Amino acid sequence: MFLSPFGRLTSVCLTVTALVMSLAIGQARADIGAYVLIDASSGAVIEEENATRKWYPASLTKLMTAYVTFKAIREGRASLDSAVVQSKNSAAEPPSKMGFKVGTRFTVDTALKIILIKSANDVAVALGEAIGGSEAGFIAMMNAEAQRLGMTNTRFYNPHGLPDNRQVTTARDLAILALALRRDFPEARNFYDHPGIRFGKKTLRSANREFLLRVPGANGMKTGYICNSGYNVAASATRGNKTLIAIILGAGSGLERTAFARQLFDEGFRKRGGRSIASLTGSSGNPPADGYCRRNKSPGPKGYMARFDMEKEKQGGFLFFAKANKTDEDKLDDSGFMLANGKPDWVKILDRTLGPRRIAYRPLDVGLGNPKGSPSASPGTVPAGAADEAVAAIAGEDIALEDVPLPVANPVRRAENEIRAKMQFTADAKVAGAIPQNGDGAARPGAAADLSKSSPGSIFRKGLDFTVPVPSPSPRK
């Protein structure tokens, strides 16, 4: 069939437009490892790239930790007031962490808020021990849920996401998990939509705070970072009656993942979805090689402004993105976002890449709560004998803290625990004013504390814990 001159012109224009848009997307998203954007009501994929490539989840793992916990509550095996105990095994986790002393008791409600907002690794393990009877038992429950949900390329080996190259997932699988958490447990939304927590006099900011405070409709969900994964995020936003969920893996910085999420949402709310997220099958590649963060650097101030400046987006539409290449970054006039001392004006950069703050920063007040009773492990998911031991560890009000039988430790981490114990011993000694020459009469590192004699705030261990993981004030993190 022959087209009229007008028809041929229209066809050529559409082809050029599609080509420019594809170039724009490629230039704007060159440093993102994988991503997917879905409609939360239908699971329809709006946009994706490398969505089935295996990747390291980092702290997005805690979405599954929360999912398994909410399911235990729904099934009556636990409640928000159930007790969680900081065991020696859980207290040995590296930052980010709360640093509670061994034996500290708090509620499941507190634990969920801490892992979803503060992303504390020690609390994630303690919560897993409480719900699963042991860390190993809880990990088995996580993998069972992943299989049931259809997360075909996901395997968990810990409940927090710290480095373990066996622990892999995909953007597709994490989108299925985020969708299930939002759909199956709507109550969870009140746990992950806060920009920070206040615990006593200590205020801890969420790494997702700028997204929540600046992006229109932002309401969750979780960030993650280890070197091998880069900067990850599971983000959600609601505008009108429509909610979208974005999974972004492998960004070069915290600001890049947030600005890219904002850009995805701004574009995505104008589009319609296509195939279902579950219909994306197979695996399109292996995880990045070790040291990913050293190869995928932060874009820097010029890179952020070249790719994500909202003022230029409005001026140039999608054609702006086709110009966001390295050459144009070098030519970019940075006088509009640099201070007189030559340093970046991060307030202005944040305002122009994410938008101005729409709401004030108000951290959620969190305390230990009033723990009651103990969760019961799901039958058949915990190794024989481990459940009884762990339940005893978090049961009865009358058990002395030093006599609490601690849950089974992860054998892979025993050597690390011994090293950390020695480091903690040295740190405790320094706090006391001197390093003893022998261990006679010295407190055993990691031993349960007599909280009845502690001063306010001393539920935190000194030296290596609470003071280490407080988030950096830099807006790039």
- 466 Cβ contact list (under 8 Å, min separation 6): 97, 98, 99, 202, 460
Q: Catalytic residue among 54, 62, 222, 312, which?
A: 62
Spatial separation of the C-alpha atoms in residues 105 and 84, rounded to whole Å: 6
Q: What is the largest CA-CA distance in the chain?
A: 96
372 is catalytic: no
Q: Are 214 and 358 spatial neighbours (Cβ–Cβ below 8 Å)?
A: yes
Q: Catalytic residue among 82, 87, 96, 119, which?
A: 119
Q: Give the dihedral of Cα atoms 159, 162, 168, 171; nearest 10 deg.
A: 90
Spatial separation of the C-alpha atoms in residues 108 and 92, rounded to whole Å: 20
Q: What is the DSSP letter of 240?
A: T
- 208 Cβ contact list (under 8 Å, min separation 6): 195, 220, 221, 222, 223, 233, 235, 258
42 is catalytic: no
Spatial separation of the C-alpha atoms in residues 236 and 233, rounded to whole Å: 10
62 is catalytic: yes
- 211 Cβ contact list (under 8 Å, min separation 6): 218, 233, 235, 258, 261, 262, 354
Q: Catalytic residue among 54, 59, 82, 97, which?
A: 59
Spatial separation of the C-alpha atoms in residues 229 and 15, rounded to whole Å: 36
Residue owning tokens 């930052």: 95
- Catalytic machinery residues: 59, 62, 119
